[in-house]
Amino acid sequence: MDRIRAPAVFSQRKRQKGLHSPNLSCNYEIKFHKLVIFIMQRKMGMTRRTFLMELARRKGFRVESELSDSVTHIVAENNSYPEVLDWLRGQAVGDSSRFELLDISWLTACMEAGRPVDSEMKYHLVGQDQSPPLSTAESEVPSFIASKVSQYSCQRKTTLNNYNKNFTDALEIMAENYEFKENEIFCLEFLRAASVLKFLPFAVTRMKDIQGLPCMGDRVRDVIEEIIEEGESSRAKEVLNDERYKSFKQFTSVFGVGVKTSEKWYRMGLRTVQEAKADKTLKLSKMQRAGFLYYEDLVSCVSKAEADAVSLIVKNTVCKFLPDALVTITGGFRRGKKIGHDIDFLITNPGPREDDELLHKGLLLYCDTIESTFVRDQLPSRKVDAMDNFQKCFAILKLYQPGVDNSSYNTSKNFDVAEVKDWKAIRVDLVITPFEQYPYALLGWTGSRQFGRDLRRYAFHERKMILDNHALYDRRKRIFLKAGSEEEIFAHLGLDYVEPWERNA
């Protein structure tokens, strides 16, 4: 039914945009006369294009509202080189060689520099150096067989090179909204589709590009189709503007607050983190109080440099107690990410079980220690999102940053007194695992979350095995399968080994 009504919705949106077109006649001083910029609206949307045009004009650039003979540089966002050529054909342009066809990142670099920057290779559109000139036949999408793409992300090598971010961002917004509504089926539907699109070695530009791919249900296809036609998803936009979604997004950003607590606070009439902080009737857990106390630090991104600094602190401290201990950073940083919101460490010791007391040495600013509940020879959990039974510590560590002014941080009990400080509070998870279970724990804690889900689903449905962060159990042979490395676990499952940086599903 949604698909039948869609054209009417689209046409209404276009009429509204036409009625509210902003006045672009403002006069700005042109500082750079040698280049004339035209910004393509396709896949960008009118609002963003208008903003970028005005910004560039204020910086002294000449920006044309319409494509004309005077244009020297065409800037596009989320468009491949063949796609821009195709658009130019539709504008009856006979020779594209007179234009510099550049990615939006070039314009962004110009804005930051306050002047034109060289149009280096890195600013060229995807496929520009391989594509034929405009006068030849239309370029084709790289050779790719959709039917051979597995539904399981553990059979796909997914790096951080996401050519379809405009689609995956929208799908992940939809998934998060359903997660807040505790609708697991719809949430996973959008997450699995986003995972497939992240794997693709090319940018999707037409519905034909996703034909035959797994996990592309009607709801997913509707979102993709609208982004292709309109440059954005009205459904994702509605979610971003939804009061409940915005409140849950804020509440769950607080350390120790999940969907259940967010639902409770929302029903109480609370809408923002500030309102929750000010409400004296809330019964906060120790973790939630720490979450509010260090909120500004914890919601900011953790850089790779900060992760490395914390890693050094953790390793040096652990080795004072356990000289032979192995400390490994896991999570997104092990998968090659440059930023994150917390840092996960896996700690194991090949010697005697002296690690049981490690988390009780008083190492951190704040910690919430959970004791191990693992029972020897217990079967792995069948739940794809099951929490493991290792001893672990959800903690906040103080990282000193000499010369850094973080004056926005509140230290008072009532969150109303600001203090200048030279350190940053950083979320750290420490997980203690027995040495024999270390490979399974490393695989599970490295992620990504979707990769781990699919690995467990694949083990259960395709190999008749049960996998979790502790062990791998063969249901047919009724035996536990030992492994000394991640590679051996993949081998037990009959899978090609996937490197950590290829697990960004």
CATH number of the domain at 383, please.
Answer: 3.30.460.10
Contact 236, 229 (CB under 8 A): no
In tens, the pLDDT along 458-494 reads: 999 999 999 999 999 999 999 999 999 999 999 999 9
- Mean predicted lDDT score pLDDT of the chain: 84
Pick the more confident residue, 411 or 226: 226
Query: Residues 60, 102: one domain?
Result: yes
Q: Do 176 and 269 have their domain in common?
A: no
Model confidence at 412, pLDDT cuts 50, 70, 90, reads: very low
Question: What are the pLDDT digits (tens) for 431-444?
Answer: 999 999 999 999 99
CA distance 384 to 452: 8
CB of 49 closer than 8 Å to CB of 74: no
Contact 158, 139 (CB under 8 A): no
Same domain flag for 187 and 325? no
The active-site residue, picked from 103, 209, 297, 344, is 344
Residue 451 has pLDDT above 90, yes or no: yes
Of the candidate ranges 309-323, 346-360, 470-484, the one whose mean pLDDT is the lowest = 346-360
Query: Is the pLDDT score of 124 beyond 60?
Result: yes
Same domain, 273 and 334: no
Compute and round to an integer the Cα radius of gyration of the chain: 26
Q: Which of 132, 146, 145 is CA-nearest to residue 82?
A: 132
What is the domain-level CATH number for residue 161?
1.10.150.110
Q: Which residue, chain included where needed, has tokens 């917004």?
A: 173
Given 123, 156, 180, which residue is the final one in a domain?
123
Report the C-alpha gap between 116 and 390 in whole angstroms. Answer: 55
Residue 88: domain span: 18-123
Please give the tally of structural domains in the chain.
Answer: 4
Residues 64 and 168 in one domain: no
> Is 429 tagged catalytic?
yes
What are the pLDDT digits (tens) for 362-407?
456 677 777 777 767 677 877 767 678 788 888 999 888 765 554 4
More confident residue, 393 or 297: 297
Distance CA 427, CA 343 (A): 6
- The separation between CA 185 and the C-alpha centre of its own chain, rounded to angstroms, equals 20
Least-confidence region, from 50-54, 139-143, 150-154: 139-143
At residue 321 the predicted structure's pLDDT band, cuts being 50, 70 and 90, is: confident
Compare 215 and 129 and report the one with higher pLDDT: 215
458 Cβ contact list (under 8 Å, min separation 6): 152, 154, 155, 493, 495
Q: Is residue 451 a contact partner of residue 490, using CB atoms and an 8 Å limit?
A: no
> Which of 2-16, 86-100, 391-405, 442-456 is modeled with the greatest confidence?
442-456
- pLDDT of 21 over the 50 cut: no
What is the CATH classification number for the domain harbouring 289?
Answer: 1.10.150.20
Same-domain check for residues 466 and 379: yes
Show the DSSP H helices in 162-303 as ranges.
165-180, 184-199, 218-230, 234-240, 243-251, 259-267, 273-278, 286-293, 295-299
Is the domain of 322 the same as that of 438? yes
Q: What pLDDT does residue 307 have? A: 95
pLDDT of residue 183: 95
Residue 504 in domain: no
pLDDT tier, 92 (very low <50, low <70, confident <90, very high otherwise): confident
pLDDT at 390: 86
pTM score: 0.69
Assess if residue 5 is contained within a domain: no
Q: What is the largest CA-CA distance in the chain?
A: 78
Is 416 annotated as catalytic? no
pLDDT > 50? residue 11: no
352 pLDDT band, cuts 50/70/90, is low
**293, 316, 332 - which closes a domain:** 293
**Is the pLDDT reported for residue 90 higher than 90?**
no
Q: In this structure, which amino acid lies at residue 40?
A: M
Q: Which two tokens stand for residue 254?
A: 């607080």
Quote the pLDDT of residue 86.
83
Q: What share of the chain has pLDDT > 90, as a percent?
A: 55
Greater model confidence, 364 or 105: 105
Closest CA to 46 of 27, 65, 25: 65
Residues 218 and 258 in one domain: no
% pLDDT > 70, the chain: 83
In this predicted structure, the answer to whether residue 194 has a pLDDT above a threshold of 80 is yes
CATH of residue 55's domain is: 3.40.50.10190
Q: Is 324 a catalytic residue?
A: no
Q: How far apart are CA 174 and CA 197, in angstroms?
A: 15
Q: Do the domain assignments include residue 134?
A: no
Catalytic residue among 342, 388, 454, 468: 342
Question: Does residue 6 have a pLDDT over 70?
Answer: no
Task: Indicate whether 284 and 324 sit together in one domain.
Answer: no
Task: Name the band, by pLDDT with cuts 50, 70 and 90, for residue 16.
Answer: very low
Is 60 exceeded by the pLDDT of residue 140?
Answer: no
Task: Report the pLDDT value the prediction gives residue 416, as an integer from 0 to 100.
Answer: 42
The reply to whether 200 and 328 lie within a common domain is no
Boundary residue ending a domain (72, 90, 123) = 123
Please check the confidence at residue 5 and state whether its pLDDT lies above 70: no
- Confidence grade of residue 254 (pLDDT, cut at 50, 70, 90): very high
Q: Flag whether 429 is marked binding.
A: yes
Identify whether residues 461 and 369 lie together within a single domain.
Answer: yes
Q: Do 356 and 227 belong to one domain?
A: no
Q: Is 374 helix (H, G, I), strand (E, B) or coil?
A: coil
> Is 344 marked as binding a ligand?
yes
